[in-house]
Chains A and B, each alone.
Chain A
Amino acid sequence: MSTNAQNFASRPLPVPIDPTRVGTPRGKAGRSVAVHPLRGQAFETPKVALTDICLSYRTQSGQRMLALDHINLQVKTGEFLCIVGPSGCGKSTLLHLIAGLHQQTSGQVLVDGKRIAGPGTDRILIFQELGLFPWLTVGDNVQFGMKMKGIAKAEREEKTRYYLRLVHLLQFKDSYIHQLSGGMRQRVALARALATEPDVLLMDEPFAALDAQTRDLLHDELERIWEETGRTIIFVTHNVREAIRLGDRVALLTFRPGRVKREFTVDLPRPRVLEDPSVARAAGEILGQLREEINRSLEVEYHVGTKPHIEIEKEAQL
């Protein structure tokens, strides 16, 4: 695969839709986790399709560094896809590409079969650092996207109230961001993203900085909101159990360059519980694979041998 680094530019034009990569419908029967691709399935146009995405950049020493290597992923309308991988595998960058905030070196991001041109409110990204506007109240943050779209004030107010109620923050409408706790800020970011009524919600490790209880609560809320609103969600995390807890499907990325190592379909009934043995068992399968990537990342980053068991334990407990 290392040859890809040199010759991706000369590859033929990517095929817009690759039927071999379409995931299974939600709730399909099956035991524990199964590895796909499923060939020959009838397919609809995927909501989001990444075809042969490559991203390289020049490091300070002048070398060209391949960050993402021929990423092919497809997400169906209403699907919840989780992307896991060791830190530094480019999973956040991938979300930025889908959001249109950065430009890939080659390959295409297609939404409803159409190539995206820059940012668009059909895809809203919830940043890891949230990026809530401290100069605006909670309510004004939530209606920011609608204001940019030019939606009338009365409608904005109404929708703001609706989405704030959805995340249980209506009574904090006039507060400023710094007055809220971490979990509340997460929910404001979620409401702000939802209020723009995007088809696709992109979430970049949104719950990584929260305590366990708050995270459990937000998992429940996110799942409920996802079911209520029918949005397509692409959720990036380094936490395998969180991915199993939430995702219909889990894509595992390799470490540097980021490649799709494998895709897993999670066929566990919802709502799932983080502590449930079936979740742990499913996570175990993916963790085995993730472990190899973490080993590689540790080798590269610290130049130590393969001794990352403590790291893995930590990962598994999250």
Chain B
Amino acid sequence: MKRAARLIIFYAALFGVWTLLAELKIWPPYLFPTPWGVAQALYSGFQDHTFVIAIAVSLRRVLIGYAISVVLGMLLGLGVGSSKFLEETMGGLLVSLQSLPSICWWPLALLWFGLSQNAILFVVVMGSLLSVTLAMEDGRKQMPRIYGMAGRNLGASGFQLFWYVLLPASLPFIISGLKQGWAFAWRSLITAEMLYLSLGLGQVLMMGRDLNDMSAVIAVMILIIAIGYVVDGLVFKSMESRLQRRWGLISST
């Protein structure tokens, strides 16, 4: 209750200062919109379905891209985490590649895939793949060896062993990496969309810039933040707490 009150006060103050600055008209409204203007932009964006379509398109892309990098990253990470040879050779490369912003792959992606959806997916995958890979590699090492042995002992091998034992056993160790991968995937997607007229939230944001409509730009920014936050809060937080409850890392009451 106290926390809620503090939050309300904080956001009320934030909006108060924003409104005040906007109402003082130091800058013209097209440079510094009022909260009211942003709210209107949000409303009309949903009204004419621009935002609905953009959100649907962006979410579809990020889900496909993220799914690809989770699958690839887990396999890659499992390989690097299980093999001394791969770790010594590929390990360093993976870590150094992580310092490369994924949008740097954009020119290559354009050449390889053309000006298409696939080029965007490629950038998304390159953005999140490494986080997942490194997390899985780490998880594979941190995971107690006993689970793998117990699994083999009970007749699991190959894919079964991975799917039913190694993957669930490493989940508590890789969930933060999965979360980070998601954040990178989302950011990479918006960046790529901003460079390419392709529906999607990134393009709607750039449209706002082209029309000098800063209310719309801020409205889209709010949407991007909100979606990132909701996925983090709904998907990852609940996954994390379910894991912790199952594993007995926190009390179940």
List residues of chain A with CB under 8 Å of any chain B CB. Answer: 99, 101, 119-121, 124-125, 127, 129, 131-136, 144-145, 147-149, 176-179, 192, 196
Contacts and interface: CB of A to CB of B under 8 A. Distances in A.
A198 B178 CA distance: 38
B236 to A, nearest CB: 17
Contact of A121 (B147, B155, B243): B155
B30 interface: no
A109 to B, nearest CB: 14
A131 B157 CA distance: 16
B155 A133 contact: no
A190 to B, nearest CB: 13
B149 A127 contact: yes
Given A147-B164, A148-B164, A176-B248, A133 B152 contact: no
A178 B247 CA distance: 7
A148 B153 contact: no
B38 to A, nearest CB: 44
B92 to A, nearest CB: 25
A127 B150 contact: yes
Interface string B115-157: 0000000000000000000000000000000110110111111
Closest 10 CB pairs of A and B: A178-B248, A131-B150, A145-B154, A131-B146, A148-B155, A121-B155, A135-B168, A134-B247, A119-B152, A148-B156
Interface in B151-202: 152-157, 160, 164-165, 168-169, 171
A91 B164 CA distance: 29
B231 to A, nearest CB: 23
Given A135-B171, A176-B248, A124 B156 contact: no
Contacts of A132: 150
A145 B155 contact: yes
B3 to A, nearest CB: 30
Instruction: Say what secondary structure dominates the interface of chain B.
Output: helix
B146 A127 contact: yes
B194 to A, nearest CB: 40
A99 B153 contact: yes
A124 B154 contact: yes
Contacts of B247: 134-135, 176, 178
A133 B252 contact: no
A134 B247 CA distance: 5
A196 B155 contact: yes
A131 B147 contact: yes
17 contacts: A119-B155, A119-B157, A124-B153, A127-B149, A127-B153, A131-B149, A131-B150, A133-B147, A133-B150, A133-B165, A133-B169, A135-B246, A144-B164, A145-B154, A178-B247, A178-B248, A179-B248
Interface of B: 146-147, 149-150, 152-157, 160, 164-165, 168-169, 171, 243, 245-248, 252
A274 to B, nearest CB: 29
A149 B154 CA distance: 9
B178 to A, nearest CB: 15
A95 to B, nearest CB: 10
Contacts of B150: 127, 131-133
B9 to A, nearest CB: 40
A178 B164 CA distance: 19
B168 A133 contact: yes
B175 to A, nearest CB: 12
Contacts of B152: 101, 119
Nearest to A121: B155
A101 B243 CA distance: 29
B145 to A, nearest CB: 9
Given A125-B153, A131-B147, 15 more contacts: A101-B152, A101-B153, A127-B146, A127-B149, A133-B169, A135-B169, A135-B243, A136-B168, A145-B154, A148-B155, A148-B160, A148-B164, A149-B155, A192-B154, A196-B154
A148 B154 contact: yes
A101 B145 CA distance: 12
A236 B243 CA distance: 34
Pick the most buried of A135, A144, A192, A196: most chain B CB atoms within 10 A of its CB: A135
A147 B156 CA distance: 9
B239 to A, nearest CB: 12
Contact of B246 (A99, A125, A176, A196): A176
Contacts of B154: 121, 124, 144-145, 148, 192, 196
Contacts of B165: 133
A133 B143 CA distance: 12
Contacts of A120: 155
A144 B169 CA distance: 14
A125 B154 CA distance: 8
